A and B are shown apart, each in its own frame.
Chain A
């Protein structure tokens, strides 16, 4: 039962990420903006990451009849999600560090210190760092523009970071409810990223990226 619930939550994450990705893609097609292109890659990667875990669990269980799910599916899904978090952090990095001095970049690089002793630990810690960075940058942006939707995005990224942290901690207590809480927190975080969409009219005039 718990296994099915986890699969459903992961599939929910897949759908939420997919909708956000499609929205960012429409924005990129309409405006040709590289920022929206990066957000598009980011949300598609997050969606695929959730999908790999959700579909992977279901296929292994119901198609192949495995009683125990392979841990590499979880690792693969988290790895793909991390690519998505990287692109969000990367967009902030471009905004904040370019064309500023290299000195700041040399300070930022050592922050990516990787703890842990397994691939899943490493991936989760990278995701956590990228998400915390994205959250901090978004909060700083909120202090500049004072838009309510920005604080929702910051909360969403913060919840995704908390979800990653709880997911990492669930390795310490593998049979606990922590993993379920982790995925739920991440879904709520992704849901908070929906708030900015509600403010944009969903029309598609259809301009090429050549503009």
Chain B
């Protein structure tokens, strides 16, 4: 069966979507939860999370000795823009 190839931007979109819509509690989503829901390896996720936190799209919180991640307002704006432009690219039959 053919597996759909995900671009770097779409992986970021999936991570932010998970952090926004599927975080198990208000303190945010743990790394393990993000790995499972966004379907990314630990090594790749770590690099992306560092970038997203440094860009202000995700907020890092410490809860119960575990590092968790919450989507920021900036991250919500990015996700909204990403979804809009994904529709635009989809209309051309392309992947963003």
Residues of A within 8 A of B (CB): 23-24, 27, 30-36, 39, 88, 91-92, 95, 99, 137-138, 140-142, 145, 147, 149-150, 152-154, 195-197, 199-201, 203, 205, 207-208, 210-211
Contacts and interface: CB of A to CB of B under 8 A. Distances in A.
B95 interface: yes
A195 to B, nearest CB: 7
B87 A211 contact: no
Interface stretch (B25-33, B60-68, B77-85): B77-85
B23 to A, nearest CB: 20
Nearest to A39: B92
Nearest to A152: B91
Interface residues of B, number: 26
B96 A211 contact: no
A30 B5 contact: no
A36 B85 contact: yes
A133 to B, nearest CB: 11
B77 to A, nearest CB: 4
Contact of A31 (B51, B55, B81, B90): B81
B91 A195 contact: yes
